[in-house]
Structure 1
């Protein structure tokens, strides 16, 4: 270290890596980031529809996304976020059912008895109010829902979603994970609100990514793309990062890549820590994006609770953002989380469209393939960790057994799920940890790490 400033290498140019880089630079360290791909931003990477940038995978903000809201405010970009009430639906047995308000629940006829509907509503209220995650850690989501909401609610509402998302691993998913998902969805509603208030940054969330990259460069940070890391190795008292025949040495290294990718490049970590990393399986994400001449569903979020349909969720972006932003086109994301090695992860855009489009006519009988004037296919490996019972006790710490080597990825945010807010939290948390470790006896807090605020109330 020179003059108290450490040299730090960061592996991975997604949100967590960029935020950690920014906070470490603010603390006075020298940072160089390596990204294997051709662009930065991770799942926030964008392309264009109608001249407007849009993410490869759907993105939105909840009013409870304190870290993201705080960072956007710090970047003077919070006013670029448009907040809009949205609705959700469930597709079940060839019909779309509104599923946003209390009245929607009472009218949800797939649960034949009013008692079942009321019971499901009370369960949702209970989960919304519960704050202690440990109450759900020792029971699977399927068992808890069966016991508390009933067999019919499980089969109609919850089991199709769990099996669609996690496949044959659904039976082991802890209730802690589902509890957190439900709480998060309710967090963007007021006490008496019947709609979910969601935010979207006009121009795409790449706007704040671009602003962060500009600040990183202004602070002297170095960002390398197309720079796959082949190996991390001990180099005396330092750590070396090897990329394409070159070795770069650092006082500390932070990896923001998946457990599997990390295990492939790291020095020996010891059986216990490596076992924690290996205990987490992953699903890959597959997303077909459509540009349509007409609207499809009338809802922002449509859960597909019919497993004869080969996809999990339909997100109609233009029920959150006006179609005029995309040249009058209606933008639809069709999403799947698939087991690694699944055939869906290897098909072409044309093959996937041929598989998916006939089912859109089941969702909207008026749909015709002539509505489609653009199609794009995106993949993301290791996009969804699959947690099983006891996951909380098996999490790998951010400090690895190798001195100076740190790990920060979405497999460590349990029971939270992937999302840019938690990636920001992850980057800030590990940056703070490194700042403390690199200057013994000096506990300097990384900028931005304040207590989580109350849910944001847009004007």
Structure 2
């Protein structure tokens, strides 16, 4: 039986939910507060260049993403590139990301290099994450790599990504990040990452068209103010003071918004949502006249830089200009997050000129800062057990966001996979 189903949020997960529902013969209606689809993958006009506000890349292991490309006849738009990594340490840019670079790395003893390399290698081979679920990450890493490698290669990454949450993170969550990048290699010495011609926008618009072709709707600038519940059953949604009735509602908006949008949930469920933590991001995107380096990834350990690293995106996806993303992850309650965009922009100019002393002010063609309030869920030990169930104790109501594919980190492929599973479960 054809069901009319509201989908909240048009990020990759929400789009995947509606895509699957529409292909299965149902009538999904997506409600999106923004003026475009995509969430954190959405593109903007960077003075003539259409590009994501926040960088994205693809790994050879992103099976759900690659499957959808096949279904949408977009596989011929996929490009794979051998990328490089670098490490800025002790005022020196060094190669990074393979065993030879590790052996040649200046500033680390041979024993520390061996312990670090062994840990990274074993993480790529490990498949069972459950024993790490209740383990605290920083202690786990230090036990493996030792104090020296922790200080040089890990500590600042944690400090400038998680701040006060650093000492209470799940080892399973951190392990999944190590493994994903490790498995993006097609040999021990070579890393291969991918991009779509036209960027993520190519996929987003193809999904939107497919939803609409198959009888679904995508409504932009349409924030739902309340999900309506009558007793133990969902009734529909309210927006612009109007009520629309639906057979079911599937929410993919960030979990911190759930208590205000679905306030009539049982009190214990609401409390579980309220207890979840997130980190915000201020991401500065830079258009340069010259390249910064030859690296896609560039990790940083510098006392003058309050970032764990940056991404030179144009070393993955060739563009007419050189594009660098510099993300500042910071809790939204931290005073730093309240600082104006220009403060972050000036920092970035200073950092990039330090890394590449050839750069001058004239080489900075344009800089923009984007902010996202709930950019990164904080996954503490035992995180999965504290998440409310996706299928809530209200008939016809499902809630999830990127938190739910813990221990995997946020990613387009993971969102697609999870979204399609929710859609199938919702209409069983």
CA RMSD between the two structures: 1.6
Q: Does residue 168 of the first structure (1) align with residue 160 of the second (2)?
A: no
3-state SS of paired residue (1:98): strand
Deviation at 1:274, TM superposition (A): 2.5
Determine the C-alpha separation between the residues in 2 that align with 1:50 and 1:383: 25
Q: 1:151 aligns with which of 147, 153, 178?
A: 147
Determine the C-alpha separation between the residues in 2 that align with 1:114 and 1:349: 42
Residues 236 and 248 of structure 2 are in contact (CA less than 8 Å); yes or no, is this contact kept in structure 1?
Answer: no
Determine the C-alpha separation between the residues in 2 that align with 1:95 and 1:366: 14
Deviation sequence 1:393-423 (CA, Å, 0-9, x none) = 2122111122111112012111111111111
Q: 1:24 aligns with which of 21, 43, 52?
A: 21
Residues 284 and 327 of structure 2 are in contact (CA less than 8 Å); yes or no, is this contact kept in structure 1?
Answer: yes
Q: 2:100 aligns with which of 79, 103, 110?
A: 103
Q: 1:402 aligns with which of 394, 397, 417?
A: 394
Determine the C-alpha separation between the residues in 1 that align with 2:346 and 2:303: 18
Which residue matches 2:278?
Answer: 282
Q: Which runs of 4+ in 1 moved over 6 A?
A: none
3-state SS of paired residue (1:150): helix
Q: 1:74 aligns with which of 64, 71, 74?
A: 71
Residues 27 and 435 of structure 1 are in contact (CA less than 8 Å); yes or no, is this contact kept in structure 2?
Answer: no
Q: 1:298 aligns with which of 294, 297, 300?
A: 294
Deviation at 1:283, TM superposition (A): 0.6
Deviation at 1:96, TM superposition (A): 1.8
Task: Name the stretch that deviates more: 258-267 or 269-278.
Answer: 269-278
Decide whether aligned partners of structure 1 residues 315 and 87 sit closer, same or farther in structure 2, where only a CA change above 3 A counts: same
Which residue matches 2:191?
Answer: 196
Residues 99 and 188 of structure 2 are in contact (CA less than 8 Å); yes or no, is this contact kept in structure 1?
Answer: no
Which residue matches 1:88?
Answer: 85
Determine the C-alpha separation between the residues in 2 that align with 1:348 and 1:46: 22
Which residue matches 2:377?
Answer: 385
TM-score between the two structures when normalised by the length of structure 2? 0.96
Unaligned runs of 5+ in 2: none
Deviation at 1:343, TM superposition (A): 4.1
Determine the C-alpha separation between the residues in 2 that align with 1:50 and 1:74: 33
Residues 180 and 416 of structure 1 are in contact (CA less than 8 Å); yes or no, is this contact kept in structure 2?
Answer: yes
Which residue matches 2:420?
Answer: 428
Determine the C-alpha separation between the residues in 2 that align with 1:197 and 1:50: 29
Which residue matches 2:43?
Answer: 46
3-state SS of paired residue (1:229): coil
Residues 60 and 200 of structure 1 are in contact (CA less than 8 Å); yes or no, is this contact kept in structure 2?
Answer: yes
Residues 310 and 356 of structure 1 are in contact (CA less than 8 Å); yes or no, is this contact kept in structure 2?
Answer: no
Q: Does residue 213 of the first structure (1) align with residue 178 of the second (2)?
A: no
Deviation sequence 1:155-174 (CA, Å, 0-9, x none) = 11112111111011010111
3-state SS of paired residue (1:357): helix
Which residue matches 1:132?
Answer: 128
Residues 234 and 267 of structure 1 are in contact (CA less than 8 Å); yes or no, is this contact kept in structure 2?
Answer: no
3-state SS of paired residue (1:61): coil
Deviation sequence 1:268-290 (CA, Å, 0-9, x none) = 32243223323320011211111
Decide whether aligned partners of structure 1 residues 319 and 131 sit closer, same or farther in structure 2, where only a CA change above 3 A counts: same
Unaligned runs of 5+ in 1: 437-459
Q: How many residues align?
A: 427
Deviation at 1:244, TM superposition (A): 1.0
3-state SS of paired residue (1:124): helix
Deviation at 1:17, TM superposition (A): 0.6
Decide whether aligned partners of structure 1 residues 267 and 365 sit closer, same or farther in structure 2, where only a CA change above 3 A counts: same
Residues 234 and 394 of structure 2 are in contact (CA less than 8 Å); yes or no, is this contact kept in structure 1?
Answer: no
Residues 177 and 416 of structure 1 are in contact (CA less than 8 Å); yes or no, is this contact kept in structure 2?
Answer: yes
3-state SS of paired residue (1:350): helix
Residues 233 and 239 of structure 1 are in contact (CA less than 8 Å); yes or no, is this contact kept in structure 2?
Answer: yes
Which residue matches 1:442?
Answer: none
Q: 2:345 aligns with which of 328, 345, 353?
A: 353
Q: Which aligned pairs between 1:219-234 and structure 2 lie closer than 5 A?
A: 219-234=214-229
Which residue matches 2:331?
Answer: 339
Deviation sequence 1:28-58 (CA, Å, 0-9, x none) = 1111111011111111111234744211111
